[in-house]
């Protein structure tokens, strides 16, 4: 039964991604002269000039700087602003910086509990607004990359693309999912916290709010920020088994659709199918490992009568033992980061799966940026294959030369630099060692997970870590900002460089990128590079903890 559930969710999401990708391509890159909602929105926005990749990147950075400034001010002043029926007070400045950086970068790493710290205005205006426009930024960047790879030096207009992604893609999808969540029991109100009395006469204060709207875009936009501290383990965010399926599929569907959108914009659907297949195989392997390793009991239950049961520590009984590891694989294969079980309660090797998802950061990945990250592996893959056959590497009829390879390697190395550098610093200083509650390998994994989550713009946490401190808030905030924009700008620079080159004629010796053979090359490149970069820390953390917990 567990296998049927997993297959149904994964296959259903993959099937939905095909029409979703077709719709996204029509909205983001309509055919010339097509009359639709796109042209109506473009008329409202006014005439916006086409931009090359440098102008596009400048607009992207300028827009995000504006978002950062507005959000920082609103969060800093929330105690003076309306829509605060529960009287939420001031937020500590380093936490304001961290939260602003987190939501601007589509990370939604939360060093706070939403129902405790944030007013309704803070939840709705800066934070939920950012969940739309930060996701739209990723979609826009992917569209610009695809247009360059299709041979266009002018890759669109950033502001027009963000408008299209927000109002024509994300908003309609969020309305549909929000209605499903309301029907499933999620609250949707602007009234303050409710009070209730237990049969014993104890008065309880029950936090609530506009939860359904917030949760819908948090999942669809691969944001992941929870309205409540427990995130999607909270019964108001995720009331039932059916809402759990809706949210789980929402995490992945638009990221999968981005691959098909990329194929349609570049005019190479068969190439997109190869990429989709490689990503899907990696995702399937991660789900299989997560479910398998979590089927073993927790180490604390070894040699007890319950030893034959699966690990239910930190799991929701409403969802069962399989929904937790499936969600963990989904949420870290993308940059979503929401949880329906506590990742800190996963068995050590099951906990390695979400870490691997964030280390690779391209198994469908964040909305738009996952496919951008995979583009870097595509460049490396064609370069390796070109060397093997003794030809100048080519990608989509453009030669991949020294400049493109240098940029690709730089972008690939930035990711482990932030993860490993941050982990080394905090694992060797009181900034990190003074905040862990579990000694040994588990404490090391908690620090490693936090920096992996920040660098992958994921936002999930291993918890058990006192991370709401000034060093953690500032360090992870800086990592989130740098790890968001460097891996967007460098691939756009590569694509712009390729677009400026003359296409080379296709011959019998040209490496085709739409065959199963190239899919294997691509898959091998991802696994080999990931293993070389992160296998040592995997051994120091989850693997060491697993070996230490084995019965002797």
Q: What is the dihedral of CA 175, 177, 179, 185, to 10 degrees?
A: -150
Strands (E), 90-202: 194-197
pLDDT above 90 for 294? no
Find out whether 28 and 265 touch, Cβ atoms under 8 Å: yes
529 vs 308, residue with greater confidence: 529
pLDDT at 391: 75
Residue 512 backbone dihedrals phi, psi, to 5 degrees? -80, 140
Q: Which helix (H) or strand (E) holds 373?
A: helix 369-389
pLDDT above 60 for 33? no
Indicate the SS3 state at residue 126.
helix
34 vs 433, residue with greater confidence: 433
pLDDT at 178: 95
pLDDT above 90 for 11? yes
Confidence of residue 169 (pLDDT cuts 50, 70, 90): very high
Confidence of residue 307 (pLDDT cuts 50, 70, 90): low
> Which of 306-310, 360-364, 523-527 is least confident?
306-310
pLDDT (mean) for 433-445 = 88
What's this model's pTM, rounded to 2 decimal places? Answer: 0.93
Largest Cα span, the chain:
82
Confidence of residue 273 (pLDDT cuts 50, 70, 90): very high
Q: What is the pLDDT of residues 496-513, one digit of tens each?
A: 999 999 988 877 777 788
pLDDT above 70 for 386? yes
pLDDT at 347: 86
Confidence of residue 150 (pLDDT cuts 50, 70, 90): very high
> Which of 143-157, 225-239, 279-293 is least confident?
225-239
Confidence of residue 284 (pLDDT cuts 50, 70, 90): very high
pLDDT at 232: 87
Mean pLDDT of the chain: 89
> Which of 14-23, 214-223, 296-305 is least confident?
296-305
Residue 398 backbone dihedrals phi, psi, to 5 degrees? -110, 140
> Which of 233-242, 264-273, 407-416 is least confident?
233-242
Confidence of residue 304 (pLDDT cuts 50, 70, 90): low
Q: How many CB atoms lie within 10 A of CB 214?
A: 26
CA distance 350 to 354: 8
pLDDT above 90 for 440? no
pLDDT at 306: 58
> Which of 141-155, 157-171, 188-202, 240-254 is least confident?
188-202
Q: What is the pLDDT of residues 82-139, one digit of tens each?
A: 888 888 888 999 999 999 999 999 998 988 887 788 888 888 888 889 999 999 999 9
Confidence of residue 549 (pLDDT cuts 50, 70, 90): confident
Query: Helices 369-389 and 241-266: crossing angle, nearest 10°?
Result: 50
Residue ranges of the domains in the chain?
2-258
pLDDT above 90 for 320? no
Helical spans, DSSP H, in 235-347:
241-266, 269-294, 320-333
Confidence of residue 42 (pLDDT cuts 50, 70, 90): confident
Residue 195 pairs in a beta bridge with: 205
Confidence of residue 177 (pLDDT cuts 50, 70, 90): very high
Q: Name the region of 195 (left: φ>0; alpha: ψ -120 to 50; beta: rest).
A: beta
Half-sphere exposure of 100 (CA within 13 A, CB side): 22
Q: How many CB atoms lie within 10 A of CB 54?
A: 12
pLDDT at 421: 96
Report CA torsion sign: 120, 125, 127, 132: positive
């Amino acid at each position: 039964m567990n296998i049927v559930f997993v297959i149904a969710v994964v296959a259903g999401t993959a099937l939905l991604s095909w029409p979703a990708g077709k719709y996204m391509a029509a909205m983001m890159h309509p055919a010339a002269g097509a009359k639709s909602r796109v042209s109506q929105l473009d008329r409202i926005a006014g005439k916006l000039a086409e931009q090359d990749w440098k102008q596009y990147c400048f607009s992207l950075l300028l827009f995000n700087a504006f978002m950062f400034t507005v959000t920082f001010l609103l969060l800093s002043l929330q105690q003076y602003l309306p829509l605060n029926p529960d009287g939420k007070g001031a937020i500590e400045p380093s936490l304001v910086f961290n939260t602003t950086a987190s939501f601007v970068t589509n990370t939604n790493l939360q060093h706070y509990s939403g129902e405790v710290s944030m007013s309704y205005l803070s939840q709705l205006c800066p934070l939920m607004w950012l969940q739309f426009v930060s996701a739209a930024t990723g979609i826009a960047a992917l569209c610009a990359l695809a247009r360059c790879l299709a041979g266009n030096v002018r890759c669109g207009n950033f502001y027009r693309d963000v408008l299209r992604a927000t109002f024509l893609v994300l908003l309609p999808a969020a309305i549909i999912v929000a209605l499903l969540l309301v029907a499933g029991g999620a609250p949707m109100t602007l009234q303050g916290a409710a009070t209730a009395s237990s049969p014993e006469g104890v008065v309880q204060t029950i936090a609530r709010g506009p939860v359904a709207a917030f949760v819908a875009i948090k999942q669809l936009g691969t944001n992941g920020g929870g309205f409540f501290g427990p995130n999607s383990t909270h019964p108001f965010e995720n009331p039932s088994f059916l809402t759990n399926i809706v949210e789980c599929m929402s995490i992945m569907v638009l990221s999968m659709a981005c691959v098909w959108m990329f194929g349609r914009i570049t005019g190479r659907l068969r190439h997109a199918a190869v990429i989709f297949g490689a990503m899907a195989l990696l995702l399937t392997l991660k789900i299989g490992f997560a479910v398998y390793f979590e089927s073993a009991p927790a180490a604390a239950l070894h040699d007890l009568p319950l030893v034959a049961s699966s690990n239910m520590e930190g799991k929701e009984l409403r969802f069962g033992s399989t929904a937790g590891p499936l969600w963990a694989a989904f949420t870290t294969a993308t940059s979503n980061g929401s949880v329906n079980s506590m990742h800190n309660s996963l068995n050590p090797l099951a906990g390695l799966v979400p870490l691997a998802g964030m280390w690779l950061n391209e198994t469908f990945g964040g909305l738009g940026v996952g496919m951008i990250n995979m583009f870097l592996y595509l460049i490396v893959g064609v370069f390796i294959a070109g060397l093997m056959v003794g030809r100048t590497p080519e990608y989509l009829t453009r030669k991949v030369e020294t400049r493109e390879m240098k940029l690709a390697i730089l972008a690939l190395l930035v990711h482990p630099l932030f993860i490993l550098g941050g982990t080394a610093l905090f694992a060797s200083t009181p900034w990190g060692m003074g905040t862990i509650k579990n000694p040994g390998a588990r404490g090391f994994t908690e620090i490693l997970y936090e920096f992996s989550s920040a660098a992958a713009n994921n936002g999930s946490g291993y918890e058990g870590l006192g991370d709401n401190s000034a060093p953690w808030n500032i360090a992870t905030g800086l990592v989130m900002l740098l790890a968001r924009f460097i891996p967007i700008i460098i691939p756009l620079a590569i694509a712009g460089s390729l677009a400026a080159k003359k296409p080379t004629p296709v011959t019998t010796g040209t490496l085709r990128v739409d065959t199963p053979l190239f899919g294997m090359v691509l898959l091998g490149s991802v696994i080999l590079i990931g293993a070389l970069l992160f296998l040592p820390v995997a051994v120091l953390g989850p693997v060491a903890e697993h070996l230490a917990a084995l019965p002797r």
